[in-house]
Structure 1
Amino acid sequence: MTTSDQFFETIQKHYNQQLPFVAYRKPNSSTVKGLLQSDKKLHYVEDYKTSGFVFAPFDDSQNSVLIPLENSESIEINNYTRTNKTAVRNDYFSVANKEKQQHINLVEKGVKAIEKGAFHKVVLSRQETVKLSEFNLFQTFEKLLVNYPSAFVYCWYHPKIGLWLGATPETLMKIEGNHFSMMALAGTQEYSGHMDVDWKDKERAEQQIVTDFIIENLKPFVENLKISDVETVKAGNLLHLRTMISANLKLEHFNLKDLISRLHPTPAVCGLPKMAAKEFILEQEQYSREFYSGYLGELNYDSILKPRSSKRNIENRAYAITKKSTQLYVNLRCMQIKDQSALIYVGGGITKASNTESELEETIKKAQTMKSVLK
């Protein structure tokens, strides 16, 4: 069994050799996994039938990167725990007035475009740079693991692309055999010690836009569609509205590449209509999102499902069913480490009811997830 120290020592050695890897933990799990690529080759996802860890950009016209299972070493820590939270920074750091004004101007452009009928919603983001006097990769990763147990936490590296870390609250999709599930997550307000909060019409409308988009685009691929009630969920220091969507895949018509193409990017990270909002984002944000608001996760892994035991059918306990599993997460609450700086990516959904100052404040609060673990 790999100990915590052995796990991080192995990855540190791999990183020192400038070899690609990913280390990650799924939400509410005590297992931390690592996938260490044996060479420096840049692999791309082509038909979504291969197996490995995918790292995809926001712009779906660009290639998605794959750390393939077939030429990588898999390691993991079971029952990874820390009894106490690690020390984190509680200040928001300062945001330059120029950066604030740029985002306010961007939001104003978005609202005007909505009023002119260009689209119903657009998600606008900004990049914030935090200079690092010192940076320890694995201490930072461990802080994310300990302080954000309900998030998908990861550290991803490729020498030809860069180093990324994140703690995202949002699942893009999960597929186990023919079972499909997905969440619609939108609306944001700060957590103030309780979950019983009032949501404004703007936030509820934003969440409904995401839900309706997902349902409409899923219909050709699924049957037995089920939609949960809207609930309030906590992610770090923020609250969001969430709807869970589940269904059975029509396997005879199913193509994973086509399904992802229909869904990504969702209105939660892009807007609606998708193409018009995406075009506005690429033209107006004045920086490249790269992998921020893309997706990442396990692609076509083997998942072993053990049958339920029963007194009547004891012999079935020895059997297990292997099914293909894909679990993808939206790359939110993330940062790129580059040139002794942390490039932090944050954004928010803009509708005709948006207030520019409130939208700026939302991005400042979202940035705290990454800033809190930086020295």
Structure 2
Amino acid sequence: MQTSEFLEIAQNHFDDALPFVLYRKPNASVIKGVFQDDDIVYTSKDLTESGFVFAPFNAEKQTVLMPFSVSETLESSFAISEVTEQNTRDKKEVQQESENVLNDAKDFHINLVTKAINGIVEGRLKKVVVSRKEEVRLTESNPMALFERLLVKYSTAFVYCWYHPKIGLWLGATPETLLSITGNRFTTMALAGTQAYQGDDNPDWKAKETEEQQLVTDYLIASLESSVSNIVVAATKTIKAGSLLHLSTKVSGVLNSDLMEVVKALHPTPAVCGLPKTIAKQFILENENYDREFYTGFLGEINSKEKTSRNTNRRNVENNAYAAIKTVSNLYVNLRCMQLTDVKASIYVGGGITKDSIAEKEWEETVNKTETMKAVL
């Protein structure tokens, strides 16, 4: 199916106020779509269903499910095409509006970071991730056009457009995998540290970022020990997401428990919450002064059936006879995202605070992160 036809189907679903999600996995050339037949809000309690889930940051709230059983699933190959440039005058107007909003938000965020640093110095926290929401007036309100721009700009990210008429419209391009499972093999990642891309794919990282990354990695390993075996920790690498760089460490192994148990152990990760997790989460809920909703939650397909083969050589018919159907789940942390209405986009950004954090620089990091999403608007 051509991309234009695929997006037209999604637009018709949107016009009919029916739930759907469009998504493309990192480094993939195929867009998938799940188009729900009704407007019921389905939920998942234990992640045993088969479908696409959208979960909030606060795990005490409901995880929304688009079940494959009541949905049509479609695929389309995607080739990068020309994306319409925004009008320069509109971009300047949006920038000016944004600067006015930033002047009001800066003091609050710096005070929030300072409070977090004090909590770490006092020993109550090791790390905490604080965030903010920034609203931007839309010059392009067509979600399909925005989704296509995300596809072009973020080829290495999980890109999605999620809509439910009773909940809202979200788009994003996240670089972080929460959990990938094929059969009983799992992969997750520790992602922390951020700096602007300056043309060097392997820049120097300061002690603050490397310490933060190690905290996240150590926590993931400790959290998984009771649920998995044969854990393998790969070397930490620098990855690029749009105009930003991050530190990433891949962790893999064999799963000895069910999906829900592992997700409970991981979510929310220290990369979006902090350590100790319970205390950091309470700090966030009490001090951020807004509801994160689905920002820093997780999303993706669960318990889908995929055909796997021992041999990638299609001409080897004998080995392909051993192809099997395996259960696959791919979940991603909802970073670099925005919520859309008809007239505005709410952009969500945050950063990890440690004892070495400097409040002014943490503010600047959130500004850099908002720019990655504003570039799409």
Show the counterpart of 1:115: 121
Is the aligned partner of 1:349 residue 2:352? Answer: yes
Show the counterpart of 1:64: 63
Show the counterpart of 2:288: 285
Residue pair 2:303, 2:329 contacting (<8 A) in 1 also = yes
Identity, % of aligned positions: 52
Q: 256, 260, 272: which is aligned to 1:257?
A: 260
How far apart, in 2, do the equivalents of 1:310 and 1:44 lie? 40
Shift in Å, 1:309? 6.3
**Structure 1: segments with no counterpart, 5+ residues:** none
How far apart, in 2, do the equivalents of 1:224 and 1:293 lie? 28
Show the counterpart of 1:196: 202
Q: 243, 248, 261: which is aligned to 2:254?
A: 248
Is the aligned partner of 1:176 residue 2:149? Answer: no
SS at 1:215 equivalent = helix
- Give the letter for the 2:324 counterpart: I
Show the counterpart of 2:45: 46
Shift in Å, 1:319? 4.0
- Give aligned pairs, total: 369
How far apart, in 2, do the equivalents of 1:147 and 1:352 lie? 34
- Per-residue CA deviation, residues 245-277 of structure 1 (Å, 9 max, x unaligned), is 010112xxx121111111100100000000000
SS at 2:220 equivalent = helix
How far apart, in 2, do the equivalents of 1:306 and 1:134 lie? 43
How far apart, in 1, do the equivalents of 2:287 and 2:133 lie? 13
Show the counterpart of 2:73: 74
- Give the letter for the 2:260 counterpart: K
Residue pair 1:202, 1:351 contacting (<8 A) in 2 also = yes
Residue pair 2:127, 2:275 contacting (<8 A) in 1 also = yes
Show the counterpart of 1:366: 369
How far apart, in 1, do the equivalents of 2:11 and 2:343 lie? 18
Show the counterpart of 1:308: 311
Shift in Å, 1:196? 2.8
Q: 144, 165, 185: which is aligned to 2:171?
A: 165
- How large is the Cα RMSD of the aligned pairs? 1.8
How far apart, in 2, do the equivalents of 1:342 and 1:134 lie? 10
Is the aligned partner of 1:155 residue 2:153? Answer: no
Residue pair 1:86, 1:147 contacting (<8 A) in 2 also = no
Residue pair 2:227, 2:261 contacting (<8 A) in 1 also = no
Residue pair 1:233, 1:239 contacting (<8 A) in 2 also = yes
- State TM-score, norm by structure 2: 0.94
Shift in Å, 1:87? 3.7
Show the counterpart of 2:28: 29
**Structure 2: segments with no counterpart, 5+ residues:** none
SS at 1:96 equivalent = helix
Residue pair 2:306, 2:327 contacting (<8 A) in 1 also = yes
Residue pair 2:197, 2:244 contacting (<8 A) in 1 also = yes
SS at 1:41 equivalent = coil
SS at 2:27 equivalent = coil
